[in-house]
Amino acid sequence: MSADWTWVYFDAHGETMAGGSLVTRGFPTQSDAENYLGESWKELLARGVESVTLRHGDGVVYGPMSLRAPE
């Protein structure tokens, strides 16, 4: 099974974030990728990630999606 479901992370200005402790490896399924985000979104916010986009291969599945609760 390939690992081509990936998250792209964005800061408050919409700039792509990478490196550090952000997970850049791919996930084998959409469910695995979404489970990771469900378990990690608070930690990502604490690191300055404001929104994410889910990609499958070269295509965007959805996003950017805010990690903050609607006001």
Structural domain containing residue 51: 5-66
CA angle in degrees (0–180, nearest 5) for 61-33-67? 75
Asked whether residue 71 is domain-assigned, the answer is no
State residue 7's pLDDT score: 96
In a domain, 25, yes or no: yes
Q: How many domains does the chain have?
A: 1
pLDDT of residue 1: 55
Asked if residue 15 belongs to a domain, the reply is: yes
Going residue by residue through the chain (71 aa), what tens digit of pLDDT does each one get? 567 999 999 999 999 998 888 988 899 999 999 999 999 999 999 999 999 999 999 999 999 999 998 87
User: Domain for residue 53, yes or no?
Assistant: yes
Residue 11 neighbours by CB under 8 Å, 6+ apart: 17, 48, 49, 50
